Structure 1
């Protein structure tokens, strides 16, 4: 079989996929129900109509936790890969991983120290009367 035959199979495959998608979308358009009531065009979840705008603001801590999760999750992948190849890596790999984990712990301690992991309101420090 030449290259033209393989290319022909690819063209037929994409044509079949396109035809299948067009048939499903067209079938749902032709066979679907038509509703014009006001309540049918509103989005709802679990049968509950919305009572407020969906664009509400979340505190920045939610995004911070999400970023920290992604960072530490990715680093756990590196540690797992190292654990799989621990014998070929030898002592050099072990020392490099200790350094890597030390940097992770240093970054976590820094975030903890600056208060990036605090969720509650910051407490106010009140001066004690008569003490300087």
Structure 2
């Protein structure tokens, strides 16, 4: 039975690939060969520079995601592990906690290098902004007609 699957499955895959190559049509157009799949037109080169801090956030996310992956079996079998296994898990949690405290202390996730008090929003030209707006008052006093 195993020999049948070892011979039959690769042969079946090769037959399906061959049928696909014979039957499939190839008509590439600009939409199909475009690297963007979200409906936006490409404006410039897709290879743009980005800050290393984004890579660091992704790396930290993966590290702490793997921490949860390693801690999940501990929580499932908490009543069945020995005292030695429990202390190994505590050392692991301690190492991850020290790493997290070091990350917070070194301000790794602070993107803005300047304090927020120095950042000022741009001032739009007020005359152009209010050009077509009339001022209507909601006060109860009526204008006097003299």
Q: Cα distance, 1:110 vs. partner? A: 0.6
Task: Show the counterpart of 1:39.
Answer: 30
The normalised TM-score by structure 1 is 0.63
Task: Show the counterpart of 2:97.
Answer: 105
Larger proportion of helix? 1
Task: Show the counterpart of 1:57.
Answer: 49
In the alignment, does 2:63 pair up with 1:71? yes
Q: 1:49 to 1:24 in 2, by over 3 A?
A: farther
In angstroms, what is the RMSD of aligned CA positions? Answer: 2.9
SS of match in other structure, 1:121: coil
Selected match of 1:26 from 11, 14, 18: 18
The normalised TM-score by structure 2 is 0.58
**Ranges in structure 2 where 5+ consecutive residues have no aligned partner:** 116-146
Q: Cα distance, 1:107 vs. partner? A: 0.9
**Ranges in structure 1 where 5+ consecutive residues have no aligned partner:** 1-5, 125-132
SS of match in other structure, 1:53: coil
Decide which structure has the larger Cα Rg and report it.
Answer: 2
Partners of 1:33 and 1:61 in 2: CA distance: 44
Matched residue count: 114
